[in-house]
Structure 1
Amino acid sequence: MIKKCIISFIFLYLVSEPAFAKEMVFLKNQRHPQDIKRDITSKSSAIMSFVNLSKNMVVADVLGGGGFYSELISKKVGPKGKVYLHNNKAWLPFSGKELEARLKDNRLPNVIRYDKEADELSFSDNSLDAIFFVLGFHDLFYVDKGWKIDPKHFLTQLKSALKPGGKLLIVDHSAVAASNKKHAQKLHRIDKNFVIRNLESLGFKLIKQSNMLANKQDTRLTTPFTPQIRRKTDRFVLLFEK
């Protein structure tokens, strides 16, 4: 009986292993060691399988920073697919060097560097199959010199850009429950249910969510940049559909 249970457990583990993980094995020699290291804490293969992209899709990586996910998306959608790696001007000082290194010598020919301000993303209507918005939703409610975004306008632009049935992935640092946007400014965190309510009010439909990046050891009372918790915060993973 015990042996049977063990065999069943192994079988379930194998069949539930993210399909993209197998593809990532073949990409290992093409990727930067730091990206491979980040795969562990970001569970990027599981995230990619969660969204379930296909060949030839057109995808935007919004406020995508140095393009960690853009590179993975580019491999998934293939040479006939397209990836818009978006950043605004205020974000480039933090991610510009990584961005330039990633795109140097046209190493990702299907990735388009897309520098646009948040109030004028300029995506064509119904042009995107999916949007990745990873660790950036809280920044819609962050205010600083050179950084002030109208959340409703920004999210409405994303919805307009998605094709009917298009997917929107949201991953962000969890704030204390029921805190809404209170901790977006100082702690760079946001309440999951606040995010869901905001997007549903604009007509997005939540189709699934995952606790794959949950961390019960995270008090949610420190910034994600605290050394002890960096890349190990409690994060929520949501997938919406237009």
Structure 2
Amino acid sequence: MNRSILRAAASTTLAALALLFADGVRAQTGAAPDYAAIVAAPDRSDADRQTDQRRQPAKMLAFAGVKPGMTILDMEASAGYSTELLARTVGPTGKIYAQDSAAVIERFVKDKFDTRAQKPAMQNVVHVVRNYDDPIPPEVSNLDMITFFFAYHDITYMEVDRAAMNKKMFAALKPGGFLIIADHCAKPGEGVSVGKTLHRIEEATLKQEVEAAGFKLVAEGDFLHHAEDPRDIPVFKAPVPIDEFVLKYQKPQ
């Protein structure tokens, strides 16, 4: 075999090894998935696409830093809108625990989550029916992330020990794991007093409660803030977009 052929073969081999190395580096660095493509998946429902307009899911997933292979607990999953998006993002190598209490399922969700659970995208989801102040199954630990989307205010008017709930979430995360929490803004000074009437909570109050469990605030998202919201209207009756805060907490390493 002449030398030019050998050189060509060697170059081809080196190029292939370089590609393999590059793929390995991308895998190790955990490059962010294409969140917009996940949201645009053609098999998502029209109802979920309507919800997308106010929830900005691609921005939320990016802010949270959800990646393939993660194990995540989705608190108060309700009908599973966010659960499904999380499941699509973590993929078949990841797992989502979708939590809700039996009372809330019976009153508000009924068969909605079970219907959604039949979708292929939900095959990596485990439905967890447990009370909010003890939300994590005993065999579940070292979670990468916990999400709590637009529902913490609901907990404030239920018979729930929120301090115990927050401590359980903290304990279930791995060191360095994240809690992503978003909710509807109340006016300063209102605390939890309008949780049931307006479905809102004061951001400062929520921060105080969560941080008391040991969580450290690492980022705040402004992509759901709406200054035109007077914050004195029930969320489901507001004629303008709702002002909402998004917070990213971390369990210290």
**Shared fold (TM-score, shorter chain, > 0.5):** yes
Closer, same or farther: CA 217–69 of 1 in aligned 2, 3 Å: same
Query: Is the 8 Å Cα contact of residues 125 and 162 (structure 1) preserved in structure 2?
Result: no
Counterpart Cα distance in 1 of 2:37 and 2:156: 37
| Identical-residue share of aligned pairs (%) | 28
Counterpart Cα distance in 2 of 1:75 and 1:141: 30
Report the Cα offset of residue 171 of structure 1.
Answer: 0.6
Match of 1:12 in 2: none
The superposition leaves residues 142-198 of structure 1 with CA deviations (integer Å, 9 ceiling, x where unpaired) of 13xxxx111101111111111111110111010001322222232221111111121
Q: What is the SS of the residue equivalent to 1:184?
A: coil
Read off the aligned partner of 1:117 and give its amino acid letter: N
The superposition leaves residues 112-155 of structure 1 with CA deviations (integer Å, 9 ceiling, x where unpaired) of 11111123323346421101101111122113xxxx11110111
Match of 1:118 in 2: 132
Match of 2:25 in 1: none
Q: What is the SS of the residue equivalent to 2:199?
A: coil
Closer, same or farther: CA 127–226 of 1 in aligned 2, 3 Å: same
Counterpart Cα distance in 2 of 1:37 and 1:188: 20
Q: What is the SS of the residue equivalent to 2:236?
A: coil
1:35 matched to 2:57? The reply is: no
Query: Is the 8 Å Cα contact of residues 125 and 160 (structure 1) preserved in structure 2?
Result: no
Match of 2:78 in 1: 65
Q: How does 1:122-161 map to 2 (within 5 A)?
A: 122-123=136-137, 124=139, 126-143=141-158, 148-161=159-172
Report the Cα offset of residue 208 of structure 1.
Answer: 0.3
Counterpart Cα distance in 1 of 2:162 and 2:220: 22
Match of 2:63 in 1: 50
Q: What is the SS of the residue equivalent to 1:30?
A: coil
* Alpha-carbon RMSD: 1.7
Aligned equivalent of 1:21, options 28, 31, 36: 36
Q: What is the SS of the residue equivalent to 1:221?
A: coil
Between 169-178 and 103-112, report the one with greater CA deviation: 103-112
When the two structures are superposed, what TM-score results if normalisation uses the length of structure 1? 0.84
Q: How does 1:161-180 map to 2 (within 5 A)?
A: 161-180=172-191
Match of 1:216 in 2: 227
Closer, same or farther: CA 227–175 of 1 in aligned 2, 3 Å: closer
What residue ranges of structure 1 are gaps of 5+ in the alignment?
Answer: 1-17
When the two structures are superposed, what TM-score results if normalisation uses the length of structure 2? 0.81
Q: What is the SS of the residue equivalent to 2:61?
A: helix
Query: Is the 8 Å Cα contact of residues 143 and 173 (structure 2) preserved in structure 1?
Result: yes
Match of 1:79 in 2: 92
Counterpart Cα distance in 1 of 2:199 and 2:149: 13
Report the Cα offset of residue 105 of structure 1.
Answer: 6.0
Structure index of larger Rg: 2
Match of 1:3 in 2: none
* Paired positions, count: 217
What residue ranges of structure 2 are gaps of 5+ in the alignment?
Answer: 1-32
